[in-house]
């Protein structure tokens, strides 16, 4: 208003005048920023997937917390279940959530309910592979050197008169030494552990077949392949040059380069400048294709029924793995090359 000699009111440091003349309190800048950035915390309850009993309740969990971090919180209240043996799920019978899944991106409310299953005692994949592959290497050499109590006493520590037996031992040993070195220096595992109980099943498979094959190949009555040296040389080329030494190793290197150290990122594998990786144009899992080829070569070289049976069983198992991985690629990547087959080009 004009006149009356009144001077306009000055806003004080602690507030301002509203249009109605009521003083409003000015909030400190930091408090205002905190309120504008208010975080909605989650409440997480973890139930037993079988009994539905409440095992743990986590209050004020940040929305950007990952399942891996929730596992670590759960581990603090239940030390017997370390993160590697925990399976956290949205549904009691559903799939396990990934450690990198973020809480606020999951289909849950601010009060989230998860279900826990115990995966059992775990063991690292590196330990598993080293155990699986060391066994066949040592067992085969025991038969090759004919240590006592395997064959008749007169054959103890004797050597075979057939050069294919010595060649087979070198190829078999090379294969498993290569696998051991790849485990130590090449492979990068997306999952750090596997159930401890599986190692007994896996070792029974690898060790048992190694003993069965080695017994017949190194037997004093063993006879060479029917087509002689030509058959053996062809088999050696298939086993070492084309499939085992170069092809399989090239694929493992290509797969390794797809995943940086410490990362679980999945990418579509493509052929590189290495011609042995060009099979990626037709096959999703060429490492299994080359593996199959190497054992076909070993079967041709030794002409031994246990080796043929091991190759057949291995082919069936690798086909199961390849189909599963192929389906995973198709589901995860919309632009996945449609021409590829799981393990055999245009066939399977």
Q: What is the pLDDT of residues 182-226, one digit of tens each?
A: 999 888 776 678 888 889 999 999 999 999 999 999 999 999 888
The phi and psi torsions of 248 (rounded to 5 degrees) equal: -65, -40
Q: What is the mean pLDDT of the segment spanning 144-151?
A: 95
Q: Pick the more confident residue, 34 or 134.
A: 134
The phi and psi torsions of 34 (rounded to 5 degrees) equal: -65, -40
pLDDT at 160: 92
Q: Pick the more confident residue, 227 or 129.
A: 129
62, 41 Cβ separation under 8 angstroms: yes
Residue 11 has pLDDT above 50, yes or no: no
Q: For the chain, which domains are there?
A: 42-120 (3.10.20.90), 123-332 (no CATH)
pLDDT at 264: 67
In this predicted model, what pLDDT tens digit does every residue of 101-121 receive, in sequence order? 899 889 988 889 999 999 989
Point out which residues pair with 117 in neighbouring strands.
Answer: 87
Greatest pairwise CA separation for the chain in angstroms: 131
215, 150 Cβ separation under 8 angstroms: yes
Buried b (16+ CB within 10 A) or exposed e, 265-290: eeeebeeeeeebbebbebbbbbbbbb
In this predicted model, what pLDDT tens digit does every residue of 52-62 receive, in sequence order? 999 999 988 99
In this predicted model, what pLDDT tens digit does every residue of 245-302 receive, in sequence order? 678 888 888 888 887 766 667 788 899 888 888 889 999 999 999 999 889 999 999 9
Provide the angle, in degrees to the nearest 10, between the axes of the packed helices 286-302 and 163-185: 160
């Amino acid at each position: 208003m004009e006149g009356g000699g009144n001077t306009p009111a000055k806003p004080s440091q602690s507030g301002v005048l509203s249009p109605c003349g009521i003083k409003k309190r000015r909030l400190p800048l930091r408090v205002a920023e905190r309120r504008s950035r208010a975080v909605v915390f989650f409440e997480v309850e973890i139930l037993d997937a079988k009994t539905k009993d409440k095992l743990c309740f986590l209050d004020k969990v940040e929305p950007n917390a990952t399942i891996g971090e929730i596992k670590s919180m759960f581990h603090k209240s239940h030390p017997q279940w370390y993160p590697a043996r925990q399976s956290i799920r949205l549904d009691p019978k559903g799939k396990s959530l990934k450690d990198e899944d973020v809480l606020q991106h999951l289909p849950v409310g601010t009060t989230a309910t998860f279900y826990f299953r115990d995966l059992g005692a775990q063991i690292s994949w590196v330990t598993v592979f080293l155990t699986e592959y060391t066994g066949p290497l040592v067992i085969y050499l025991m038969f090759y050197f004919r240590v006592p109590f395997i064959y008749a006493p007169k054959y103890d520590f004797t050597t075979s008169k057939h050069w294919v037996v010595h060649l087979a031992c070198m190829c078999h040993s090379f294969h498993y030494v290569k696998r051991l070195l790849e485990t130590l220096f090449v492979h990068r595992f997306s999952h750090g552990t596997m159930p401890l109980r599986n190692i007994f099943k896996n070792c029974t498979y690898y060790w048992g077949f190694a003993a069965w094959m080695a017994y017949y190949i190194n037997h004093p009555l063993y006879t060479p392949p029917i087509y002689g040296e030509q058959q053996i040389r062809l088999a050696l080329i298939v086993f070492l040059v084309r499939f085992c030494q170069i092809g399989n190793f090239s694929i493992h290197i290509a797969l390794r380069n797809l995943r940086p150290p410490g990362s679980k990122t999945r990418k579509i594998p493509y052929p590189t400048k290495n011609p042995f990786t060009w099979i990626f144009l037709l096959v999703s899992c060429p490492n299994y294709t080359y593996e199959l080829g190497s054992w076909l070569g070993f079967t041709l070289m030794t002409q031994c029924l246990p080796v043929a049976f091991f190759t057949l069983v291995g082919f069936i198992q690798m086909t199961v793995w390849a189909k599963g991985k192929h389906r995973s690629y198709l589901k995860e990547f919309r632009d996945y090359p449609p021409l590829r087959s799981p393990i055999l080009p245009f066939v399977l």
